[in-house]
Amino acid sequence: MCSRLPDHVKVSFEFFPPKTDKMADSLWTAVKRLESLSPAFVSVTYGAGGSTRERTHETVTRIARETNLKAAAHLTCVDATRDEVDEVARRYWDAGIRHIVALRGDSPESDGVYRPTPGGYAFAADLVEGLKKIADFEISVAAYPEIHPEAASPQADIDNLKRKIDAGATRAITQFFFDVDCFDRFRDRAAAAGITVPIVPGILPIANFNTAVRFAGMCGAIIPPWMHELFEGLDDDAETRKLVAAMVAAEQARALAARGAEDFHFYTLNRADLTFAICHALGVRPKTPAPQADATA
Ligand code: FAD
């Protein structure tokens, strides 16, 4: 494991809107613990087809109201007209939310084929352009070191990222990945295409390996064979799985840091434990006393 870390590591955390009171309690416990690490921002996802429109809004605005965190809202193009998406964005602006993570989203249809909604924003680049016309939002977009599964070619995917930046996005957050070399090559290709905004690696701490495999299958991320080997035999051993997961993600994050990455975005899955530990390994420590970890988590 490398020891040299950049001086100015910045982290951000992603949450999803809770469905039940119990889920809301665990989200809030995670938010409070991770708040102590003074992240650059936290973001809240938008469910497929806008299914969490209200819950995302509620969660983002509650974070903004009740914490010192800068909250960002994810927003997608799926199943909504431009007017409807614009209305959601205006509500965010009026509520004081200044940062949108602008995404195309995926098809809610059973065949999985994405079809733009008539009268809607077709792709994320169109959404970024539309948002910039509404207000001067800070905008982050998605990037894919292992290439988006629907991209015509690796270059077409980079060209698409460039379009999103040219439309006004100032940060790209990557899909999760585990191959650090692949991220390096992606950064080089982005730089060659004239992309100069930060490309922030998305880190997925693996709370449950089988779920991570399922996620990866859906979004085209690659789980390398060595990870299957590491997690083999741990399906019924949550404690060891968690320790292995922390080791994998901490090694990945520190390897990225050693190659110059300074910003990290964590897919927290609404849990603080692994993310907090990996931040610790990156040298990111509480600036205010952290609420104690839940020993039962
Ligand atoms: P785009 O940038 O629009 O690209 C989608 C695909 O279309 C790419 O293959 C691209 O190369 C291609 N393409 C783009 N423009 C054109 C064009 N004009 N003609 C032909 N092809 C084109 N999903 C959610 O539903 N909710 C979330 O909250 C959410 N958060 C995410 C956060 C991050 C950090 C990431 C990485 C992903 C997130 N996703 C979320 C998943 C995302 O919606 C999917 O990966 C989706 O398939 C692509 O979204 P995009 O914004 O990258 O799309």
Asked if residue 292 belongs to a domain, the reply is no
The residue whose CA has the least distance to atom 39 of ligand 1 is 105
Q: What is the CA radius of gyration of the chain?
A: 18
Q: Is 140 in the pocket of ligand 1 (CB under 6 A)?
A: no
Residue 80 lies in a domain: yes
Of residues 283, 224, 218, the one with CA closest to residue 250: 283
Q: Are 252 and 180 in contact (CB under 8 A)?
A: yes
287 is a domain residue: no
| Residue 117 · residue 77 · CB < 8 Å | yes
Distance CA 149, CA 171 (A): 21
Predicted confidence at residue 53, as pLDDT, reads: 87
pLDDT at position 111: 87
Confidence category of residue 3, pLDDT binned at 50, 70, 90: low
pLDDT at res. 154: 96
Ligand 1 centre distance from Cα of residue 155 (Å)? 15
* pLDDT range class, residue 294, cuts 50, 70, 90: low
pTM exceeding 0.90: yes
Domain for residue 143, yes or no?
yes
What integer is the mean pLDDT of 146-162?
97
Q: Is residue 260 part of a domain?
A: yes
With the CA atoms of 215, 242, 283 and 27 taken in that order, what torsion angle do they form, in degrees rounded to the nearest 10?
60
* Local structure of residue 50 (DSSP, 8 states): G
Answer whether residue 290 is part of any domain: no
Is ipTM beyond 0.90?
A: yes
Rounded mean pLDDT, 87-96: 98
- Does some domain include residue 253? yes
Q: Which residue's CA lies nearest to atom 24 of ligand 1?
A: 105
Q: What is the CATH number of the domain that holds 16?
A: 3.20.20.220
Domain carrying residue 237: 10-282
Query: Would you say residue 125 lies in a domain?
Result: yes
pLDDT digits (tens, 9 = 90+) for 29-81: 999 999 999 999 999 999 976 678 899 999 999 999 999 999 999 999 999 99
In a 3-state reduction of DSSP, which class is residue 79? coil
pLDDT of 82 reads 98
Q: What total of structural domains would you count in the chain?
A: 1
15 ligand 1 Cβ < 6 A:
no
